[in-house]
Amino acid sequence: MYLPHQTWPDLGEYVANESLAVVPLGSTEQHGPHLPEGTDYMIAEALAREATERTGHLCTPPIPIGVSSHHRQFHGTMWIEAPVFRDFVESFSRNLTYHGIDRIVYVNAHGGNVDHLREVGRRLHDDATAYAIEWMWDESIPGLIEEVFETPGPHGGPKETAMIMHIAETLVREDRLEDARDGGTVFDYDAERVHGATTFYDAIENSQNGVFGDQTDATPEIGTQLFEAASEQLVRLLEWLDDQPLEDLLPEPHVDPQPDRGT
């Protein structure tokens, strides 16, 4: 059920019986010479729409711009400062709770958003407004990604390339896949640390063209496989969350600091 396509009476009927909403989030940022800047939010929206069509749950419009200042040296990258992003997502989420939603899944496809979405979820949880959790598609199927790619890369690599080949193949510049691989970096997290410290802040410090991994390993067929597997994981998450009693999801009452006083 896609919220922008519904009327308000339709949505009233939904919240009379259901209380779960899915919010797709991503970014509008560089993804190398071969992928569109909307890669992350396009993946998030496609997965959210697929899972909610299967389950009948509510899907909101995507939030297409995220915490992406570390990609700012590349043309077209847009970003929201972290405090503003957190406040915006929290306000957006409280809009939903006003209308009767008490469970939210943030379908996220951008690593820079993760910590901030967790913080928003904690705020909503602490005041018992709603139970909101972040879900990242590639983290739901790590075994499959390791199986199909030798060097998947954390950004703009073959896993995202394959997913966009499945979702919007005409937007992939397939004639630039080798350029993406050869001008990028095979990311090694341990090698990027100095005596245990992470010493970089911007993507260009690690990759001159902004991407990692071997993009030539991507195919539309692999993209379909990844999309189906991640969609299934999201469907299972939504079904699990829908089945949980709300009281089990919200915080326990505060522990009495003086349990014996007055007895």
Q: How far is CA 143 from CA 23, 148, 239, in A?
A: 25, 9, 22
Query: Would you state the structure tokens that stand for residue 212, as one six-digit string?
Result: 């990692």
Does residue 244 lie within any of the structural domains?
Answer: yes
Residue 254: the pLDDT is 74
The verdict on pTM exceeding 0.75 is yes
Q: Token pair 């990027």 is at which residue?
A: 192
Asked if residue 263 has pLDDT above 70, the reply is: no
1-11: b (≥16 Cβ within 10 Å) or e: bebeeeeeeee
**107 touches 23 (CB < 8 A):** yes
Does residue 130 lie within any of the structural domains?
Answer: yes
Give the confidence band of 206 by pLDDT, cuts at 50, 70, 90: confident
End-to-end CA distance of the chain: 54
**Alpha-carbon span 25 to 170, nearest angstrom:** 22
What are the tens digits of pLDDT across the range 109-146?
999 999 999 999 999 999 999 999 999 999 999 999 99
Does residue 115 lie within any of the structural domains?
Answer: yes
| The total number of structural domains that make up the chain | 1
Asked if residue 255 has pLDDT above 90, the reply is: no
Q: Any idea what DSSP says for residue 162?
A: H
Mean pLDDT of 52-67: 98
What are the tens digits of pLDDT across the range 64-119?
999 999 999 999 999 999 999 999 999 999 999 999 999 999 999 999 999 999 99
Query: Would you state the structure tokens that stand for residue 108, as one six-digit string?
Result: 């996220």
Mean pLDDT of 155-181: 96
Does residue 262 lie within any of the structural domains?
Answer: no
217 is in which domain, residue-wise?
3-248
Residue 260: the pLDDT is 73
Does residue 25 lie within any of the structural domains?
Answer: yes
Does residue 260 lie within any of the structural domains?
Answer: no
Residue 77: the pLDDT is 96
Does residue 223 lie within any of the structural domains?
Answer: yes
> In this structure, which amino acid lies at residue 224?
T
Mean pLDDT of 251-263: 72
Query: How many degrees, rounded to 5, is the angle at CA 226 between CA 225 and CA 227?
Result: 95
CATH number for the domain spanning 57: value is 3.40.50.10310
**42 touches 168 (CB < 8 A):** yes
Does residue 36 lie within any of the structural domains?
Answer: yes
Q: How far is CA 89 from CA 79, 80, 82, in A?
A: 14, 11, 11
